[in-house]
Structure 1
Amino acid sequence: MSKKVIIFDFDGTLADTFDALVVVTNRLALEFGYPPTTPEELPKIRNLSSREIIKKSGVPIFKIPFFLKKIREYLHKDILNLNPIPGIKEALLQLKHEGYCLGILTSNSEENVNLFLKKHGIEDLFSFIYSETSLFSKDKSIKKLIKKNHLNSEEVIYVGDETRDIEASKKINIKVIAVSWGFNSREILTKHNPDSLIQQPSELIEVLGSLQQIVS
C-alpha cells in the first residue's frame, strides 16, 4: 500500500494560537463592527461553528476576506512568540519516523507558517504547505491540494480543530481526526461525527494506525 498522507490544520492544531487570535479579533472589533469577546464568553464561542460565529458577529460575508487578511497581518507580527501545542512536536517526529507523509493546509499565510516551523525546528517534517483564503470552501481547498500533490484521496487523513474541518473532509469523503485542544470544544466536535476525536497529540499514533487498518 502507498504511504499515508496526513494533512494538518495549522492554527489551533499545530500552533497554540487561540489566545493570540482572541487578542487580534478584539483589536479588529471596532473596525468590523462587532463587540469584543470577554473571557466569560469564550466557552460559549468554542461551542459555536464558524458559520454561527460569523452570523453572531454580524460581519457581512463580503468583508470576511478582508477580515482574514487583517488577522494574518497581525499574526505575522506575533508569530515568533507563539508555541507549538504541547506534545505535538514529539508526535510529528514519531509519525515522520514511521513513514507518514505530512502536510499543512491553512487559512494563515504560508510565510507565517514557515516562520513558525523554522523557529521550532520542524520545517523538515512537512512535505507541503498549502494556504487557502476562503473560510467556507475548505473542501475545495483540500481537493486542490490533493490534485496539486498527486495524492490518492483514499490515503489522505485530515487533522483539525474546528467543525468546518470535519464538514469539509466529509464532503470529499476523506477520513478526519478532530482534536479537542484547539478552537472548538469537544462537545460540538462530537456532534459533527469525526472519524476519531482525540484529546492529546500522543493519541495520534494509535488512532492513525486504527484508521489505516480500516481503509486497508
Structure 2
Amino acid sequence: MTAKVIIFDFDGTLANTIDVIVDITNRLALEFGYQPTTHNELDQLKNLSSREIVKQSGISILKLPFLIKKVRAELNKEIKNIKPIAGIKDVLQELSSRGHRLGIITSNSKENIVDFLEKNEWQHLFEFVYSGTTLFGKSKIINRLIKQKEISRDQIIYVGDETRDIEAARKSNVKAIAVTWGFNSAEVLAQQNPDFIVSQPQELISAVMALQASEETIDSYSLSNQIFLN
C-alpha cells in the first residue's frame, strides 16, 4: 500500500493540554475582556464549533492573535508537565514503522512542540512541525506544506480533535480523521463530515489503512477505465 503523509494537530490530539489551556485562558480573561469558563460550561463548549466558541466568548477578533501569543508563552512554562495522550505513542511508532511520514501542524508555538517532542523522545517520529499564529489559518499552512514539500493532496491525511481541524482539511481538499479524545464532541465533529471519526488512538491505524485501500481502489478503477477507453 502507498505510504501516506499523516499530519497531526498537537493540542488535544497528541498532547493532553486541554485542562492547562483552559486554566491559562481563564487567568487571561480579565486582561482580554471575556468571561472565564467553568467546568460545566466547558462540557457545553465541546458541542460547539470553534467559530461558535469564539463568537460566544465575546472576545474581539482583533485581540485573538495577541491572546494566542500570550497563551503560547504561558503554555511554555507548563510544557514540562504536559502528558501525551494515553496510547498515542504506540500508534505513532506503528504508523512510522509502516513507512508513513508524520508531521505536526498547530496553532501552538514550534518551540513548545519541539520541547515536548524532546521531553518524550519523539523527535525521530516526526519529519516536520509547522506552526501558525491564527485559529483558523491551518488550511493555509497545509497548502504551504504541499507546495514546499511537493506532496500530492491525495497522499495527505490530517488528524485533529476540533472542528477547525476538519474544516481546514476540507478547505485544503485532503482526507480528515477526527478524534474524540480531545476537545470537541463526536456529534459536532461529525457535522464537519470527516472521512473517519475514531474514539481510541489504536483505531487510527485501521482508519489510515482504510483510506489507503480506498485510494488504491480509486486508482485501479481509473487505470482500468483508461485502458478500456483506449
SS class of match (1:201): coil
- Which moved further from structure 2: 184-193 or 73-82? 184-193
Which residue identity does 1:117 align to in structure 2? L
Superposition map of 1:126-145 within 5 A: 126-145=126-145
**CA deviation after TM superposition for structure 1 residue 74, in Å:** 0.5
Match of 2:55 in 1: 55
Give the 4+ runs in structure 1 shifted more than 3 A. none
Superposition map of 1:141-156 within 5 A: 141-156=141-156
Match of 1:204 in 2: 204
Counterpart check, 1:41 vs 2:54: no
Which residue identity does 2:29 align to in structure 1? A
Match of 2:226 in 1: none
Contact 2:106/2:138 (8 A) holds in 1: no
Superposition map of 1:73-84 within 5 A: 73-84=73-84
**Total equivalences in the alignment:** 216
User: TM-score, normalization: structure 2?
Assistant: 0.92
Match of 1:118 in 2: 118
Larger Rg, first or second structure (1 or 2): 2
Superposition map of 1:184-199 within 5 A: 184-199=184-199
After superposition, the CA RMSD in angstroms is 1.0
**CA deviation after TM superposition for structure 1 residue 169, in Å:** 0.9
- Amino-acid identity (%): 56
Which residue identity does 2:97 align to in structure 1? H
Gaps of 5+ in 1: none
SS class of match (2:102): strand
CA–CA distance in structure 1, aligned partners of residues 209 and 134 of structure 2: 31
CA–CA distance in structure 1, aligned partners of residues 50 and 70 of structure 2: 17
Which residue identity does 2:129 align to in structure 1? I
**CA deviation after TM superposition for structure 1 residue 2, in Å:** 5.2
Match of 1:26 in 2: 26
Match of 2:223 in 1: none
SS class of match (1:105): strand
